[in-house]
Amino acid sequence: MSTDHTRNRVAKGISTGGQYAVEHRPEAAVSLGAPTERESSRLFREATDVEARIWELQRQADELHFDGLKAAARDATMNQRASVIRATRSIIVHRNTDQELLTRIAREHPHGPTRQLAQQRLDPLLAARRSAIESQQAAAEDEFRRTMAFLRGQ
């Protein structure tokens, strides 16, 4: 009787689309294509792990992008500083050279018109030098501002 009873239950389950087999025989559920509860939870955990890994990779990519922007800002700042330092050194060197020349002329010709002539000749040179240095310094500062504006826009 037990065998007939089991046979009837299996026949009933199969005739109702396999619902009985899915509920009472997990191994039959796999053969019918439906995942078991254990299989479902494993698949859910794997999907959650994959999603978490995707978010982690996205975060790392964002961090790398941000680190790249920080490096670009640092490089731009260093380049701008170097340009300003070069321009400042140039001003100091030329100013010292011009002052030495004026001092030498003043020593050689303390009361003569040569000093005035030398000053008149040096003034345009000094103005041209200062203009070139100021434009170089302005270009360096402009480049720095553009870089920082670009980085803020990212």
| pLDDT, tens digit (0-9, with 9 covering 90-100), for 72-96 | 667 766 776 676 666 666 666 666 6
What would the mean pLDDT of 40-56 be, rounded to a whole number?
76
Within its chain, how far is the Cα of 120 from the centroid? 53
* pLDDT of amino acid 127: 76
Quick one: pLDDT at residue 55? 76
pTM for the structure as a whole = 0.30
Using CA atoms, how far residue 56 sits from 47, 51, 66, 97, in Å, is 14, 9, 15, 60
Q: Residue 140 burial by CB count (10 A; 0-12/13-18/19+): exposed, middle or buried?
A: buried
> pLDDT tens-digit profile of 1-30?
455 555 555 545 444 444 544 455 555 444
CA 37-42-22 angle, 5° bins: 20
What is the C-alpha separation between 45 and 126, in angstroms, rounded? 76
Q: Map tokens 């240095």 to a residue.
A: 133
Tell me what the mean pLDDT of segment 39-68 comes to.
75
Q: Amino acid identity, residue 21?
A: A
In this prediction, residue 149 carries a pLDDT of: 80
CA–CA dist 110, 66 (Å, integer)? 63
Residue 109 DSSP symbol: S
Q: What is the pLDDT of residue 33?
A: 53
Span 98-141, pLDDT tens digits: 667 667 766 776 666 666 666 676 777 777 777 877 787 787 77
Residue among 9, 43, 5, 8 at smallest CA distance from 25: 9
